[in-house]
């Protein structure tokens, strides 16, 4: 069943795009609706206020947040959790963690988003 799920994730039409002008709470809500997992944003080592946009987060952290990318970040169920977290860092310069639906437990970086959402 695992192999079938992985193949299905590659062809799954669910694609999640992140626009830098959206509020963090909106991005997190849409991520949960798409994948059933929690997306947590950080400013430094603290969880960022969810009322901020990615651009506003730039003024709240010592790390420069780059929101100049014209294309939003596109995420798919076939991507590994660790890969997604690194993409946020490399594209926007922000730290995120993907957690279970309740936002209590971290998801293993080697799992795909699709596999993690089925656990």
Task: Please write the tens of the pLDDT for every residue from 1-59.
Answer: 465 555 554 445 456 777 778 899 999 999 999 899 999 999 878 899 999 987 777 66
Q: Has residue 100 got a pLDDT over 80? A: yes
Confidence at 81, pLDDT banded by 50, 70, 90: very high
Q: Which of 104, 84, 105, 79 is nearest to 96 (CA)?
A: 84
- Residue pair 21/39 in contact (Cβ under 8 Å)? The answer is no
Q: What does the block give as tokens for 60?
A: 């709240």
**What is the count of structural domains for the chain?**
1
Backbone angles phi, psi at 94, to 5 degrees: -120, 155
Which of 95, 93, 85, 3 is closest to 37 using CA atoms? 85
Q: What is the mean pLDDT of the chain?
A: 80
Among the listed residues 94, 86, 26, the one whose alpha carbon sits nearest the alpha carbon of residue 59: 94
State the Cα–Cα distance between residues 53 and 72, nearest whole angstrom: 14
Q: Which structural domain, as residue segments, surrounds residue 88?
A: 2-118
């Amino acid at each position: 069943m695992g192999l079938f799920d992985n193949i299905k994730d590659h062809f799954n039409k669910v694609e999640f795009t992140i626009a830098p002008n959206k509020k963090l709470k909106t991005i997190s809500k849409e991520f949960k609706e798409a994948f059933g997992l929690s997306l947590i944003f950080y400013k430094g080592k603290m969880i960022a206020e969810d009322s901020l946009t990615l651009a506003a987060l730039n003024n709240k952290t010592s790390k420069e947040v780059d929101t100049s990318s014209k294309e939003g970040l596109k995420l798919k169920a076939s991507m590994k959790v660790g890969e997604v977290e690194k993409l946020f860092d490399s594209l926007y310069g922000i730290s995120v963690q993907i957690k279970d639906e309740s936002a209590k437990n971290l998801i293993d970086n080697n799992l795909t988003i699709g596999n993690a959402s089925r656990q």
